[in-house]
Chain A
Amino acid sequence: DVKVTQSSRYLVKRTGEKVFLECVQDMDHENMFWYRQDPGLGLRLIYFSYDVKMKEKGDIPEGYSVSREKKERFSLILESASTNQTSMYLCASSSGQSTYEQYFGPGTRLTVT
Chain B
Amino acid sequence: DQQVKQNSPSLSVQEGRISILNCDYTNSMFDYFLWYKKYPAEGPTFLISISSIKDKNEDGRFTVFLNKSAKHLSLHIVPSQPGDSAVYFCAAADTGTASKLTFGTGTRLQVTL
**A interface residue numbers (CB < 8 A to B):** 4, 9, 31, 33, 35, 40-45, 48, 50, 56, 58, 90, 92, 94, 96, 99-107
A99 and B109 CA atoms in complex are apart in Å by 26
A49 CB to nearest B CB, Å = 10
Q: Which residues of A contact B41 (CB under 8 A)?
A: 9, 106-107
A50 and B106 CA atoms in complex are apart in Å by 26
Q: Let me know if B62 is at the binding interface, CB within 8 A.
A: no
Complex interface: stretch among B14-22, B70-78, B93-101: B93-101
Q: Quick one: given A42-B103, A42-B105, A43-B89, are A102 and B46 in contact (CB under 8 Å)?
A: yes
Q: Among B46, B49, B99, point to the contact of A50 (Cβ < 8 A).
A: B99
Interface size on B, residues (CB 8 A): 26
Q: Quick one: given A43-B44, A100-B49, A106-B41, are A58 and B100 in contact (CB under 8 Å)?
A: yes
Q: Let me know if B65 is at the binding interface, CB within 8 A.
A: no
- 8 A/B residue pairs, CB under 8 Å, sorted by A: A9-B41, A35-B103, A45-B101, A48-B99, A48-B100, A58-B100, A106-B43, A107-B42
Q: Which residues of A contact B89 (CB under 8 A)?
A: 42-43
A58 and B103 CA atoms in complex are apart in Å by 12
A99 and B102 CA atoms in complex are apart in Å by 15
A107 and B87 CA atoms in complex are apart in Å by 15
Q: Which has the most chain B C-beta neighbours within 10 Å: A48, A99, A105?
A: A99
Q: Which residues of B contact A90 (CB under 8 A)?
A: 43-44
Residues B30-81 near A (CB distance < 8 A): 32, 34, 36, 41-46, 49
Smallest Cβ-Cβ distance to B33: which chain A residue: A100
Q: Which residues of A contact B44 (CB under 8 A)?
A: 43, 90, 104
Q: Which residues of A contact B9 (CB under 8 A)?
A: 40
A106 and B99 CA atoms in complex are apart in Å by 21
Q: Quick one: given A42-B89, A42-B106, A99-B32, are A104 and B101 in contact (CB under 8 Å)?
A: no
Contact B43 A40 (CB under 8 A): no
Q: Which has the most chain A C-beta neighbours within 10 Å: B9, B32, B41, B93?
A: B41
